[in-house]
Structure 1
Amino acid sequence: MLIKTRLPLMMILLSLIPLFLLSFLIYRHTSKVLITNSKVNILQTTNAYSSALAAVIDGQRREVNSSKESLGIINVLSNRSRNKDDSFYHSKEVLNLNKSLKENKDNFPEIQHSLVIDLNGNVIASSEENALKFNVIDREYFKDSIKGKTFISNTLISKASNKLIVVVSSPVKDLDDNIIGVYANAIYIDYFQKFILNIKNGDTGYAYIVDKDGNIIAHPDSKKIGKKSENTKLIDILRNIKDSNKVYDGLDVYTYDNKDKLMGYKTIPELKWTFVFTKNIAEVNEPAYGELKIIMSVAAFIFILSVFISIFASRSITKPIGYLINVMNKARKGDLNSLCEYKSNDELGMLTGNYNNMIKKLNNSYEELSAVYEELSATEEELRSQYDELIENKEALEVSECRYKEVLNGINDALWEYDVNTGRFFASDKWYDITGYQTEHYNILKLIEKAVFPKCKKKLYDDIKKHINLKTPWFETEVKINAGDGKIKWILNKGKVIKDDDGRILKYSGIISDVTVKKKAELRVKQLAYFDTLTGLPNRTNFIDQLDNEVRNYERDKKMGAVLFVDLDDFKRVNDSLGHDEGDKLLKTIGNEFFHTIDEKNTVCRFGGDEFLILLRDVSGKDEIIDIVNNLIDIFNNGFEFNKKRAFITCSIGICMFPKDGKNNNSILKNADTAMYKAKETGKNRYEFYDGEMSKGLNRYIQIEKILRSSIHNNEIYLCYQPQVELKTGKIIGTEALIRIESKEAGFVSPGEFIPVAEKSGLIIQIGEWVMKTAFKQNKEWIKKGYGEKRISVNVSSIQLKQSNFVESVKKCIEETGISPELVEIEITESVLMESLETNVEILKQLRSFGVRTSLDDFGTGYSSLNYLRIMPIDTLKIDKSFIDDIHFNRKQEAIVDGIVNIAHNLEIEIVVEGVETREQLNILKQKGCNIIQGYIFSKPVTAENIDEIIKKTILF
């Protein structure tokens, strides 16, 4: 390997190893922290909602105990002991009780029916006629209640409705404290189903409830209700708990539907029920994957920078060597007048000077020989007169010859000459060093037959013939030989034919050079340029060259081909669990399986990382492609074994047919990649053919990003304001600024559509600063108009918070607009705050120290951890609209709002309720002591011009 190649490679390796070691350590630490936070959140969610479930059940128990005292049930049961006839069922007091039970049941939509049961198990009164005279003496809830217990049953099928119910029952006692019967409420199992349907976390988090035997009581998939849970890990936990009255909770990992999941669980001892919250581990780990991308991007940038620096340093060192080699090549061709012009005081400068001196002496010797030759051409008398002088010059000639030999021995080439007439072959000493053969032991023609490889031999003779026929000025051929020492070498043979005046060949003369190192380097460069070093498969460059050729031919010949884009699903998990060495082995094994699965006419390529490309040539249609793809997916069915460890992995495949779905390399690869990501989105371990519809989402993203980039300049972006009203006084105390876009090109664009694009593209920073300046300036204008000092709330995203100068940017906007900091409120969502809790808490503290108010938006929809409220430096807590929509008839929602309001008031945090639309909602929130209301009941978000009239009003209600 040449110095100019070896030197930069060594420099690059010296920087690469510590760089990637440091990147790995940083990633390992940050991913551990992020994943731990996600697990804590799951456990807290489980504890919060299991407590809420216990509270709901306790409410049902209290309802049964209070109703049995207030509905006249004791009198009816007391009279039953004296009247056993059927006429009792038609008595006035029983009919009145039936009516009271029905009215009471109508007040509680979760109750299917209410029952009054005598000591013989006969239903003597009910909210439903078809339940009368049923006998429930065999029911567990009746047996336990007769013993004096308030009982909550497991799920059972109602005799009255034939539907799944849970029964809450309590004994009824007379004035002497004797048990005279049982009062029971049958609760729809759907009541618990609605409870768990509102519990979500991220994209894959959901909850369900099981009884002590593992039977599912409530589940987002209603088909599973009443069936045994398929979570074997949970069944083992329930088996260990048995009938214990202790509270068990914790986290555990299990696999369901080929997905690894993390579950939090907590038991409710008095019910023998267990509340379970589960979430895909892939989503739990998702924040760590994002961190990895950032770390690898920075590492790649530093690595590329080191490559450029290494190449520059190498060239500055090896450039003088190149000058010297160039001059030596000229000397080898006979030009002894060319000298190396490089001058320096370093070692290369000294070498150049010595070489120039040697060439000058050799040139002088040639001139002396020329002079002697002219003298020899003189007359006989001149020769005799100069005889003595020739004797004197003999020694000088010998010195010159020695110098000539020294030069020959100093170069790496061997001179040779072959006399056609005598068959004599002469070669310099370097011949043996290069070929390993002594010339005196072989006839040169026989040596060529023995040593030169057949293909090279034919090329050697063809090149000599072309020169003899005057087609080339000399002959020059690279030949492969079996050297005398047993090694295989590459030799460069260059020479000319010497002819007499009649054109007859007298001699062949030339030089040979050992070019083995150069030839190996060329082959290595070719291998590196066109083949993957790990798997030996064609690389991306090789694949694109082949694809380009196929695309041109297929469009011309009306044929059809396809490109398969294969991505290994969750390959990082293999590297993390088995190590990167085993991961490399797995890639080699998969590449080898792909290679042997497809036909020889097709090409398998490693595209990079855990991605492969497969080029299918001349396919008949989709059916043929599907058969090939299914064979590829089948490779992964049984997993792969390494060092007695088995790795299970799947792949997602995107398919682009050409020229139908792509006319050139870029479009074909892009469309295949798009189809592959579609396969991943729809569940992984599958394939998808490219469809033009797949590109529409990408095109929409590009259109919105284009609109965003010009929205401020084109006045397509504007703010709407929604008033915030103090419940106690009915006065407007502030407004929230909400961003809107009305594009000439695309019309109205929803914030839910353009804000994610703005965050991904980084434009949210510029737009966010514009929003703050515009909102603050507008609020200042309202103050100047005499509307009074009112707060202005502005939402910020996680991208803005991550800017190192965010706090300074807020201060700058306040100072430039002249607004008082106390009138500014910065809103962040719960999920944004938790992305980097410690850092974001510090930012909020800095804002508050400047006088700016802080608000936590969408509370209850994200992490929902009341524990974090202790450390969060916030002034306002905003309850999300989803908790308000059905508050007037959903007791659970009402209970949650009660809890949030009480905790916030105890922590001296102001409450703002969003999304209030009806008078019923307003009255309930007023009773609960909520501070501020925001919603359509007062005004929808409107522009600054339209909100003027609303702000002028002193009191809105």
Structure 2
Amino acid sequence: MSIKKTLRITLIIFSIVPIIIVSILAYQLIAGRLISIKRDNLNQLAVTNSNGLKAMVKNQQTEINLLAIQNQIYNLALYNQSSVLLTKKGYKDIYKSAMELLKKRHAQYPSCSRITVYNTKFQAIASSDQSIVNTDYSDSITLSYIKATKCSASGVSGLIKNPQLSPDNITNKTSSYCIEIGCPITMETNESSIIIGYIISTINLSYFKDFLSSIKMGETGFGVVLDKNGIIVYHPDSRLIGTSIDNEKLGTLVNSYYTGKITQNGAFAYNYENNRKIYGYSVIPELDWVLLVKQDISEIINLAVIIIYVLGWTVIILIIFMILVSNKFAKSYTDPIIELKDAMRTASDGDLEVQSNIKANNEIGELSRSFNKMLHIIKGNYNELSAMHEELITNEEQLRNNYIRIEYLAYHDILTNLPNKLAFTERVNSTLALSPGSNKVHAVYFVDLDNFKTINDTLGHDYGDNLLTQTAEQLLSLITSDDILARAGGDEFLIFRENLSSQREATEFAANVIDAFKKPFHLSGEIAYVSMSIGIAIYPKNGTLTNVLIKNADIAMYKSKDTGKNKYTLFDKSMEDELNRNTIILEILRGAIENNEIYIKYQPQINIITNKIIGFEALMRIKSGKLGELSPSEFIPIAEESGLIVELGEWILKEACRFNKNLMELGYTPYIVSVNISSVQINRTGFITMLDHVLKETGIPPKYLELEITESTIVSSITDAVTLLNSLQDLGVRISLDDFGTGYSSLNYLTSMPINTLKIDKSFIDNISKNRKDSLIAEAIIQLAHSIDVEVIAEGVEYNEQLSVLKAKNCDIIQGYIYSKPLYPSRLLAILDSVQ
């Protein structure tokens, strides 16, 4: 759609829509207001006319009450009540006088059907209708009501047929129905009033016709009177008088008033006879009637409809006006835009000489001038772009080649030209995706060179790179065209073999790889022997996802390294469980101090001659909420590998010194506390400073602290070890050489190092009483230690036979279950108390 047309339609819509909305709202408000006013008017009209009806009934009631006290009527009723017999002439005179009065009053009211006097036995004794005299009316509701209430009655019998008219004489139904208005005739005594008779006037409904027919409201408004049973008492259509109204809500208005559902007066809207009407009503309790004044809503809102017509014509005129105005307005704004559009189209076709000639001083004129300036700039740059295009075409081939190279580098290892781990993963994923849920067997191998770091450190990285290249070539020679070989990084390689016949085929290939690397490699004049540690994960047994298979093969490879290297290992679920358990243990160690999961047990050390405690060894223990009690053989290696042993070692050192210092302050004989020191801990810079700080902080005399250092820790560098141990001796602490006999057992460092005690490893003590060689080794160690003034501690002593041999060999100190297991501090205190 063009801008001109869009602008024209927009102007028309935004002009007309508000008027239409306002018109609809005005119509709704006016119609609602008219209906509200009409409801009030109809309600008021109903109340006013109901009061008029009550006044008309009251007038008739008053007339009857006056007749009841007239002497003629009173005497007639009295003589009929009295037991005194009158002469025939006397009664005739009274009767005649009463009849004349009744007829005279009957003649005064054309709407009165008859006036009748009754005795107390409900017999007519006089009437303007002489034909009913002496008739028994014992079934009269009106008479029964007056007798029971001793009050006047108006219409209590409801509508009754006009007794003066036969069905053939009925010309108007307002004359065919009557109501009865009566009162008692009473005789006053000193004590009370006595009813001596009754007088009832039967009033034609035509009595109310002129009054009710005057109730009008517009073309459709008129009044209707209903009794409590829904019988129509009055209707402008006299044919309906005496019939029941065919609507439950309207027919039960009187009863609804008596039951409290509605008020005596009111108004409401209601659908009746397929037409929406407004009703005003007023209940007349004296007659059990309700006066309804109704009018059609359609007539009420005709005025509001007139407003809609006026607004409709206004909208039509406004639309015509807006079309004319919008055409002119749109033309003034869109013609320059169209001209500028044509200039742009010409320029887009390649004609850069075109110019826009819009001279307006508004935004469109400014846009025209900017367009001309832009074309000038484009024309000036077109030649430069053409030259650059030629240059880009020339460079396109080079860029394509670079892209191919970059893509190759993204998926290959630069050194060996093998696929990298990303390419390996994608290719394995593709293979596994083709055989989900099948019985095919695939294998992932994680290959790692053993001691590759030694090659780099001793020969240099160039030799290491050369070794990796030759390793890649060797592995390529061992695989088939269907296999995948990739370098995972460093000295690690990945191999994928698909569609194997069995697990055995997978292990045979790994064995072939290990055998192939038994021959040495020639590295620029140097000869290097290389072995492999291989981990194997089988699909689908050990995983169905590539990353899972690689991870499990990696776990199996580390198992090969941990169990001797130069071998292959098939992944087993227990390896992952072990790895997961080690991970949990590592997390436990990280928070052991903070979570109070670390504690110390103390194992006494006994002088073999005096049989007295001369010290105790502090042993670190961990009890976790997740895993329970952890074995030191399990968590110590993890702590050393992660470096957490430094923090944990410093903690046990402080706690053991603090515990021993407390014993001294409590008056116990001074004892030597032994604390194991890890190689990781002792080789850490600042160990001497830390130890000195602990001694000062706890206040323990240094001579009562003994550091247990393993043989393997000090033999790695005897010179450095001598310097370190001398520094420890300078602090005044004792040095114990732990696990002697399990390491290098060099006699040289025993003579050159300041050692106070030497601990014979438990592996020699276990069979000392059964194995002569172990006995001789233990004897040699004891004699050697004594020759250089070093005391000997035998740890792990459990039986009397072992103790007897050690005594015979002149061992100085024993430690083991034969005397005591490691004890909680409280238990140790109990034992110390017993020997004090």
TM-score (norm 2): 0.49
Larger Rg: 2
TM-score (norm 1): 0.43
By relative contact order (CA 8 Å, sep 6+), the higher-ranking structure is 2
